[in-house]
């Protein structure tokens, strides 16, 4: 099974406000993306590939409502909170947070947990509190994964090493896997590998040999879990990533990196075509 994920981050912010959204008014943005992509994706075999689009919470309802009959698209949230509502327990005292129960009730099928931007946020909060042992981040993410799975959500769990951590990549990634997946049903989780050290302007992208090495390591450590490339599936690396036997898909974000930078549905579909060889 191949997995093609789309993380739309905060691509909904209009360009005139400093964002990259030139696609649609904010109120129509989630619906527009679903309606622009789901019909072309129906040509693919659902037994061979799955498509999940992770949107900011404000757009989840309209995205789910835009799903057509027999759509191959699934909608996902960008993480969940580490605690959840429960019958006879907490009925919803989660101001500003996103419990897994509401994500499921909104019609989502999956969630994205541990993205490097989420990890950085948690690290920053811990640092402000004077905490230097960042292993706590993996424990918090483990709680999120368990809440998501208890709610019936599939999980894409992101791991990755920074440039400072790269010399100890085996230890760093090994801990992210062992702690993050402790007590978890691994059959409902896909690992997304983000080479954080290689992501961003002016940085050298991770090469085929390095990505292959990491994917093999992850499969060895996890008993063969599916691994997708989370460093950005793009037009210029789709063929290379497709040639790596150990990689089971990819995570798309921006589709255009020059000019009018942003996410464009037709370019998203082209990346999928290039990766799947259609």
Catalytic residue positions?
Answer: 115, 194
Counting other chains too, the contacts that 273-277 makes at CB distance below 8 Å and 24 or more residues apart are 274/235, 274/238, 274/239, 274/242, 275/4, 275/233, 275/238, 275/239, 275/241, 275/242, 275/249, 275/250, 276/2, 276/4, 276/44, 276/49, 276/242, 277/242
Q: What share of the chain is helix, strand, coil (3-state, %, to 5)?
A: 40, 15, 40
CA 104 to chain centre: 17
Give the SS3 label for residue 1.
Answer: coil
Alpha-carbon distances of 253 from 30, 102, 140, 203, 225, rounded to whole Å: 15, 25, 25, 17, 23
Q: Kindly state the DSSP code that residue 57 receives in the 8-state scheme.
A: G
């Amino acid at each position: 099974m191949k997995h093609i994920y789309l993380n739309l981050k905060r691509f909904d912010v209009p360009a005139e406000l400093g964002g990259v959204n030139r696609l649609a008014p904010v109120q129509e943005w989630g619906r527009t993306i679903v309606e622009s992509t789901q019909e072309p994706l129906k040509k693919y075999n659902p037994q061979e590939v799955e498509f999940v689009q992770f949107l900011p919470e404000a757009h989840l309802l309209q995205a789910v409502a835009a799903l057509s009959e027999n759509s191959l698209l699934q909608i996902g949230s960008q993480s969940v909170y580490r605690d959840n509502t429960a019958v006879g327990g907490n009925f919803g005292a989660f101001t500003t947070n996103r419990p897994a129960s509401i994500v499921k009730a909104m019609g989502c099928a999956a969630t994205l947990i541990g993205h490097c931007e989420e990890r950085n946020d948690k690290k920053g909060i811990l640092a402000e509190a004077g905490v230097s042992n960042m292993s706590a981040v993996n424990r918090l993410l483990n709680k999120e994964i368990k809440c998501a799975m208890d709610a019936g959500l599939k999980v894409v769990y992101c791991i990755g090493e920074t440039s400072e951590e790269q010399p100890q990549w085996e230890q760093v990634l090994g801990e992210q896997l062992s702690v993050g997946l402790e007590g978890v049903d691994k059959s409902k989780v896909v690992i997304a590998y983000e080479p954080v050290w290689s992501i961003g302007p002016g940085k050298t992208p991770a090469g085929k040999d390095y990505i292959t090495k990491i994917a093999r390591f992850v499969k060895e450590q996890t008993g063969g879990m599916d691994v997708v490339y989370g460093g950005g599936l793009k037009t210029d690396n789709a063929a290379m990533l497709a040639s790596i036997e150990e990689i089971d898909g990819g995570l798309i974000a921006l589709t255009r990196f020059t000019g009018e930078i942003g996410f464009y549905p037709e370019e998203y579909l082209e990346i999928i075509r290039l990766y799947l060889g259609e």
